[in-house]
Structure formats: C-alpha cells, structure tokens
Structure 1
Amino acid sequence: MAYDVIVIGSGPGGYVAAIRAAQLGFKTAVVERESLGGICLNWGCIPTKALLKTAQIFEYTQHSKDYGITVADAKVDFEAVIKRSRGVADKMSRGVQFLMKKNKIDVLMGNGKVKAKGQVEVTDKDGKAAVHEAKHIILATGARARELPNLKIDGKNVIGYREAMVLPQQPKSMIVVGSGAIGVEFAYFYATLGTKVTIVEFLPRIVPVEDEDISKELEKIYKKKGIEIMTNASVEAVEASGNGVKAKVKTQTGEVTLEADVVLSAVGISANIENIGLETLGIKTDKGRVLVDKYYQTNIPGVYAIGDMVPGQALAHVASKEAIICVEAIGYNEKKYAHKPEPIDYMNIPGCTYCAPEIASVGYTEKAAKEAGYEVKVGKFPFSASGKASAAGATEGFVKVIFDAKYGEWLGTHMIGANVTEIIAETVVARKLETTYQEVLDSIHPHPTMSESVKDAIEVAYGEAIHL
C-alpha cells in the first residue's frame, strides 16, 4: 500500500499524529505491535491512575470516622483491584480503535521498521512481512523501563512497572528503587493497601526533579504513612531468598541488607530506538534519543520522530503536542495547513505525579531561577489555611509560586496537595501569555476552591496576604 503518512507506534504521540494527519487530508496508516494506545493507555498513565484511585478510596475508608461515617471491616480484594485497572485500560484502547475507524486510518498490526527511504516494513505475529510506501514516516515508538546492569528485571524477584500492575497477589513487603513519578506512585498504592514499602533513592532527595520544598514535604508525609525512605543509597545486588529477595544497599554509612517479597525497579526509561531501521538510513541519535529539529524532522528528510524517543520530557502530553506540531509542519509544507506551527517551549511543560498527595509543577524551581540569575519573589500558601481543603479533610501540602522581582514575570509554580494536577494549568496558560503577578491578582478566583490557593500564594509573595 502507498500512503502519505505512516506512523510507527500508536501511543499518545503516534495515534494523535495519525489523527491530525487524517484531519489534514493525508492518507494515513499507523503501525502497532501490541495494543492501540501504546504504553500510556495500556500499561502507564491510565491503568496506574485506576490503581491509585482504588488506594485513595481504601484510604478514605480508613479515615471515614473523620467524616462522621462508620465503615466496618473494609478489605482489599487485590485480584478485583487489578481487574478493574485492566478493564479501564481495555476501554481506553477500544476508544482509540474507534478513533482510527472514525478518521479512516489504516491500522497495520505488527513490528514496524524503516526499510528504505519512503518504505516501512511491517512484520506480523506470524512472521509475514509486507512493505508499505509513504512520503512521510513518523517514528513514535516510545520507551520501556530502564534496566540497571546490577538490577535486571526478571519478572519475579525484580519487576518493572508492567509487572507491578498485574501481580497475582499483593506482596507483604516491597523495595522500590527510584523515587521519580513511577516509584512514588507505586509506593503510595502498595503502602496504602498494606504492603510494607521501602524507597531507595540514589540522589539526596526523593522526587529529585521537583522543587526542594516539594521533596521535603512528600518525604515527611510518606514517613508519616509508614513508608521507609533511604536517600543517597543504591541497590548493589539482589538475590533470591526463600519466597522473597535480599537486596544489598550501599549507603553513606556502609552497606545494609534489606529483605522483601519483591523489588520494583523504577529507575527511569530507555527509548525504543533499536530494530526500527535507524541504521538503514543513518538517522542520527545521541545518548539513546533520536535527534530532531524543532518540527521533529530527523537528519533524513521525510523521516520524523516524536515522544519519548526524542530529547525532552518523556510525558504523554508532550508527545501529543509534538505529534500535532510535526504533522502541521508537514501539512504546511504540503500546502494542506495555513501556517507553520509554533514550536514547543519546553520550559513551560507541566509535570504531574499522581501519588497522594499529588504533585504538580511547571517552570523554574526556586534554585534554578536563582542559578539563572533572577532575583525572585517567592510565596507559599499552605492548604491548612484553605477553607475548601479543610472541608475536604485534605489539608496536607501547599502551593509555592516564584516570580521575577524586577518585572513580575511568573517563573514557576510548585504544588503538593489533593487534586493539584487539576489546577496547574492556570500557571501554564498565564506563563504562555506572559502574565505578571498583577493580572492574576486582578482575576477573581472562585471561593471556596483549592485553586484560589494559587492567588493566595501570589499575595504572600508580594506582601499582600489576606488569609495567612
């Protein structure tokens, strides 16, 4: 078959690219080797949120008396918890199937590989190969769990995120290696359901990409939940021991041995750039990522790459936006789109972590702003002073805002608290519009809400606090 656009991979980058291409009038196909929707819909963003919601509901039952409700003998049916999560993922994948049909996109099931310039070879599960032609080829093959040399994922003693979502039974104890989003989300899920969890983090603090105040707050809350945290520590070796494992952990004061039922490796991701034909065309890579221009074209005209396999934040919403920009740039060049799309500002990408309490952030941390030469104004507003948070029984955490003292530019926002992932977008839009603190203070925020705490934090930064 001959197409205008073939997309290899159907995750939040690939399927969005295919849909946008079809909308612009391109004859489009998408290649997928497993399930439509990719890792995000099937093994990442969506099913993990289903698991985390279960943990949150169970946590509510543990504290129901605080709300004047008595819940007797609440128990976890772990098998049913996993089944619900898989059901949510399957439903979302079927939704992508519907979108493919709706937009008349051909779905080619199998392993996709660039065979030559303008050619994609698709090998199905039976080993049968077919070659398809396309003027434009978009690579969107995503990423997988990263493996450390001394921490190989075997699916039994050492597991990755995929295994963590479908364990046949709940472990009594777990060691989580790595405290990024994946690590702290699974730590919360399992600890809330009753698993004894220990987090081992190589760097000096957990959630290390976040503002330091966020890290300190989450560590304090997690320790209160009974989660043990070891920072400046690394797992040197893991060996089977009876029905569990022994992990040798190197710390600043020496080596200790931890015992648990299982070890979850959550040390980041590796891009899927092998066996997709990069070498055939001489497509350039660096540090395991495909190099692209601001419109996601590789060094080979007609071949593009988006999502986790290119430099930048490995986030679903980033992949989706990269997909749209990539396709619209192709559309502009083919006279199917009116203007060149605006490239992404990677300093204005919101990051969200769905543990409890949630974490949401965008822009500069306080430390990064000062290192960049800004004189800053910082405001923090605790949710303990929020009427809505008090009514909801969700007073943990705070909103922290950072502004440039000279011009009032909104440099960054960092939040930890209930549902803060739902309110970070205000900062993203305001920063895009180059808003100063004054425009935000002049915009009336609804009361009582968690979101008005953003305005309250700005008031703190400028010495105008009303509620603190």
Structure 2
Amino acid sequence: MAQWDVAIVGGGPGGYVAAIRAAQLGLKTVLFEKERVGGLCLNWGCIPSKAILKNADVVNAVREGTKWGLRGAEGVSFDFGAAIDRSREVVEKIVGGVELLLRDNGVEVVTGEASLAGQGQVRCGDRQFAARNVVIATGASTRVLPGMEPDGEVVITSREALARREAPQRAVIIGGGPVGVEFAHAWASYGSEVTVVELLPTLLPQEDPEIGRLLKRSFEARGIRCLTGTKVERVERTSAGAAVHVSGGDGEQRVEGDVVLLAVGFVPHTGGLGLEAAGVDTHRGFIEIDGRMRTNVPGIFAVGDVTGKLMLAHVASQQGVLAVEHIAGIERPEPDYVQMPRATFCQPQVGSIGYTEQAAHEAGYTVRTGRFPLTALGKAVAAGHTEGFVKVVVDEPTGQVLGIHMIGHDINDLLGEATMIAVLEATSVEVGFAVHAHPTLPEALKEAALAADGEAIHVVRRRAAPQEGAVTR
C-alpha cells in the first residue's frame, strides 16, 4: 500500500488549497472529493451567487438608465435564466482552473466519499490509503429548521435557489444573514416581492448594529420588506406555495410566498467520517482544533467550516495552508479569527474586519470611533452612490485600529486595505497620514481614521448636531 504524507478529505476552499500548498512543499498528497473540487463555495455558493449579483447590478443600472442619459431603457426586459446560465459558465471555468492546478502540482484526486479507517488510514469505496497525516475539510450545509424541511420546490436552500431559472414572484427568506440579504437583493432586482424574516434585532446581526439598521432602511426603500426581531413559528404549504407564520413586535402575521428560502446558518458535514471511532473530539458537531488546526488525535487535522471557527471560504483556505505548513515544519502565527475580513455582496455591500464598537468594549478596550459618510466622498458622489459610511474603532491608549466597518456601493473594494491595516496593527494616525489617491473610495478610510482623532477634513462640524458630510473638492 502506497504511503501518503497528507490525505485531505474534502475538496472545497480549505481542502484544495491545502492540497496545492502541501504539494508545493514536497509532500506526497491525495485529495478526496465526493463531487467536484471547489466544494460548496465554488460550485453552489460564493462564485455562482456573485455572478448572479453582478447580473443584478447590471439590471439595476439599466433600470436607472434615464439617470445616465440612456434612452429607451423603460421597455427593456430582463431574463433571470440568462443570469443562471452565466453563473454556471463562471463555475465551470473556475472549477476547471482548480482541477488544472491540482494536476499541475501533482496532487492525486480521488472521487468518492472518504472516511477514517484507523490510525493513519483513509477508506474511499473499496480502496484504503495509508497517510501520515489526515486533514478533514468536509465543510457544511444549510441548517434545516424542524417542520421546515426543504422539498426543493417551495421550501428551498441556497443550492436550489442557484439553479432556479426564474426569479420567484413572491419570496420569503428566513434569515437575514449574508446569504439571506444577498438573495433578497438579487431577486428584488429582477422584480420579486421579497420579505426577509430575521429573529435578531437587525439584518446581518454579526455586523455593527448601525450597518444592519442602514441596510434595512435601504432595502425597505426598494420595497424589500424586512421583519427583524421576528420569529418564524411555522411554515404552512398552500396551493399557491407557502404561508410563513411569524410573531414579533407587531404581533402574529402570515406572510405568503411561492418560495421560502432557508438561510439560517450551516451545520457541519461530519456524519460518516468515522470521527467517533477515531476518538476525534467534536462540540455540537463541529470538530475541535487548536491554533495549528490539530485535533486531539495526533496526525489528524481539520480546517474550514467543519471546525465552526469562522465559516468563510478565505478563512478555510488560510487554515488549510497553516495546517500543511505545520506538517512540513513551518510555523506561522496562529490565526486571529477576530481580524479576518468579512464581506456581504448585496447592494449596498457590507464589509468589515475586527471588533465592533460593542465587542471592543466587551473585550476590555477603551475605544473611540471615527465615522465618515459617503455623502461627503467625491468618488461616491461622482458615481451616484452616496448611501453608506465607513466607521473605524480605535483603541484609545495606543491608537491602534481595532475594527473597520463599512456599508456602501462596492465598498468591499476597501477590504484589501482594511486587512493590511489589521495585519500591520496600524494606528488611526498612520492611516490618516497615508496619502490616498483622489478621487477614490479608499479616501473614506483615511477620513474615518482622521475623524477618530477629531481631524476629518471633509466633515462639517456642528455643535449639538450630528456630523454631516461636505462633498470633497
């Protein structure tokens, strides 16, 4: 039996990136994937959804055509099926690229469902593989609420939603997190009547509350109904689709839709892996790991959504790299999950990194904040998208930027700089001093940092009144 240095179970962003990095480091690597490499993200998540969201941006631009001097835009029709077709073409191109990279790096890819089969052993079908190290990267799938099991037609998950060739006439989305608000934006762009139901007080409840409140106002101005602080009691199938019974501050309501999308989080794929027999510790189904991605069993690692640390594709990829580098004897700093960038791609987009103001206080920091409205940003005014703001959270004694929180059209283009600010532990003075090209979106970061020190240039300062922006130059 051939001996592998690394066997990786799962070919998503955590698994395939780990496999390529392991091969780069000279480790003999085998990757197991039961479907196609790329996992949920590339095949039925991040990539196809962002392709559809781009189509939605184009649709909205055409709808506003008269604003830009476009004549005849009023009679244009929009084909949602074409958006789905384009998204699948994008998936094929990217997944094909990943398959090429794996071949180019000499990774053996085995198609099938793999499981642990004893110390240093992985079984896939009727074959058994010996490996010095095993990395589990099996990901997660949509959480299903009791009594709301998906049927693929009326009650659906994001996977079915990404295959539908028609936007629903009426959609009820259960969950106001990233998946929920992205589909709300996309479907509403194609004319759907959308209701979002979120149990917690704001949309995107993991983000700064100011951002969730502004996103709700933005959505409602477009006709997207947002029921926050509202509990789903039950889903009743009807001849027209479904009726979702909810209760909240406005009492009990019945919300009807021809489609109900479940977007209430994810559960780990750990069933059938043989974890219990191998003695691997889990908590609420998620595999427990340390800062080197090691489980409690020597030689077994886990990365990505199956760990429950921070369920984002780029976090999984970073974990995968760190795991195989540790196997190869390369030690890097352990990941700081607080300082990982987070992005939501509805419009307006939401991007953040680090502590929210409330979380910083709870962590024991003494903080000050700076906030800069996009109404005061020349680039935003010129582009016709002034809704939103950039907010920085700063440690009072040291001036270190602890968090950056943003909402605005295409605002996630600023996350690259925000990540560097976090990695370099930059201060508000340093960010405010750095010269930013004009007119660009990143100027908003500079001004927000200056605002934290009371030095913002393009903000009107009025006593006993909220700060307002003055358009830059």
TM > 0.5: yes
- Look up the SS of the partner of 2:331 in the other structure: coil
Equivalent residue, structure 2, for 1:217: 214
Give the distance between the partners of 2:429 and 2:168, measured in 1 at CA: 51
Equivalent residue, structure 1, for 2:100: 98
Q: Which amino acid letter does the alignment assign opposite residue 61 of structure 1? A: V
Q: Which amino acid letter does the alignment assign opposite residue 243 of structure 2? A: K
Equivalent residue, structure 2, for 1:269: 266
Give the distance between the partners of 2:358 and 2:128, measured in 1 at CA: 52
Of 381, 390, 405 in structure 2, the residue corresponding to residue 399 of structure 1 is 390
Equivalent residue, structure 2, for 1:145: 142
Per-residue Cα deviation, 1:130-157 (whole angstroms, up to 9, x for no partner): 1111111110000000111132111112
Give the distance between the partners of 1:170 and 1:277, measured in 2 at CA: 41
Structure 1 stretch displaced more, 437-446 or 18-27: 437-446
Contact 2:50-2:345 within 8 A present in 1 as well: yes
Which ranges of structure 2 fall in alignment gaps of 5 or more residues?
A: 460-473
Equivalent residue, structure 2, for 1:193: 190
- Look up the SS of the partner of 1:348 in the other structure: coil
Give the distance between the partners of 1:402 and 1:100, measured in 2 at CA: 41
Equivalent residue, structure 1, for 2:425: 434
Per-residue Cα deviation, 1:279-301 (whole angstroms, up to 9, x for no partner): 12111001221011111111111
Q: Percent identity?
A: 43
| TM-score (normalised: structure 1) | 0.96
- Look up the SS of the partner of 2:117 in the other structure: strand
Equivalent residue, structure 2, for 1:126: none
Q: Please say if 1:383 is aligned against 2:374.
A: yes
Q: Which amino acid letter does the alignment assign opposite residue 169 of structure 1? A: E
Structure 1 stretch displaced more, 417-426 or 289-298: 417-426
CA apart distance, 1:2: 2.8
Give the distance between the partners of 1:112 and 1:237, measured in 2 at CA: 37
Per-residue Cα deviation, 1:205-233 (whole angstroms, up to 9, x for no partner): 11100001101110110000100011121
Give the distance between the partners of 2:424 and 2:167, measured in 1 at CA: 47
Equivalent residue, structure 2, for 1:4: 5
CA apart distance, 1:196: 0.2
- Look up the SS of the partner of 2:78 in the other structure: coil
- Look up the SS of the partner of 1:47 in the other structure: helix
Give the distance between the partners of 2:161 and 2:11, measured in 1 at CA: 23
CA apart distance, 1:71: 4.2
Contact 2:390-2:407 within 8 A present in 1 as well: yes
CA apart distance, 1:74: 1.8
Contact 1:233-1:249 within 8 A present in 2 as well: yes
Give the distance between the partners of 1:443 and 1:130, measured in 2 at CA: 58
Equivalent residue, structure 2, for 1:313: 310
Q: Which amino acid letter does the alignment assign opposite residue 405 of structure 1? A: E
Contact 1:150-1:236 within 8 A present in 2 as well: no
Structure 1 stretch displaced more, 407-416 or 1-10: 1-10
Alignment of 1:30-179 (within 5 A): 30-72=31-73, 73-123=75-125, 129-179=126-176
How many residue pairs were aligned? 457
- Look up the SS of the partner of 2:338 in the other structure: helix
Q: Which amino acid letter does the alignment assign opposite residue 113 of structure 2? A: N
Give the distance between the partners of 2:206 and 2:121, measured in 1 at CA: 40
Give the distance between the partners of 2:166 and 2:425, measured in 1 at CA: 50
- Look up the SS of the partner of 1:116 in the other structure: coil
Q: Which amino acid letter does the alignment assign opposite residue 40 of structure 2? A: I
Equivalent residue, structure 2, for 1:28: 29
Per-residue Cα deviation, 1:86-122 (whole angstroms, up to 9, x for no partner): 1111111101110111001111000011111111111
Give the distance between the partners of 2:365 and 2:298, measured in 1 at CA: 40
Contact 2:268-2:308 within 8 A present in 1 as well: no
Which ranges of structure 1 fall in alignment gaps of 5 or more residues?
A: 124-128, 333-338
Equivalent residue, structure 2, for 1:367: 358
| TM-score (normalised: structure 2) | 0.95
Give the distance between the partners of 1:252 and 1:444, measured in 2 at CA: 47
Of 262, 280, 285 in structure 2, the residue corresponding to residue 283 of structure 1 is 280
Per-residue Cα deviation, 1:333-388 (whole angstroms, up to 9, x for no partner): xxxxxx41221111211100000011000111111122223222211111111111
Equivalent residue, structure 2, for 1:250: 247
Contact 1:61-1:71 within 8 A present in 2 as well: no
Q: Which amino acid letter does the alignment assign opposite residue 306 of structure 2? A: M
Give the distance between the partners of 2:323 and 2:72, measured in 1 at CA: 52
Give the distance between the partners of 1:399 and 1:440, measured in 2 at CA: 13
- Look up the SS of the partner of 2:106 in the other structure: coil
Structure 1 stretch displaced more, 66-75 or 304-313: 66-75
Aligned CA-pair RMSD: 1.1
Equivalent residue, structure 2, for 1:336: none
CA apart distance, 1:425: 2.4
Give the distance between the partners of 2:255 and 2:209, measured in 1 at CA: 27
Equivalent residue, structure 1, for 2:462: none
Give the distance between the partners of 2:421 and 2:251, measured in 1 at CA: 48
Give the distance between the partners of 2:101 and 2:175, measured in 1 at CA: 36
Give the distance between the partners of 1:172 and 1:438, measured in 2 at CA: 50
CA apart distance, 1:204: 1.2
- Cα distance 1:9–1:251, how it changes in 2: closer, same or farther (>3 A)? same
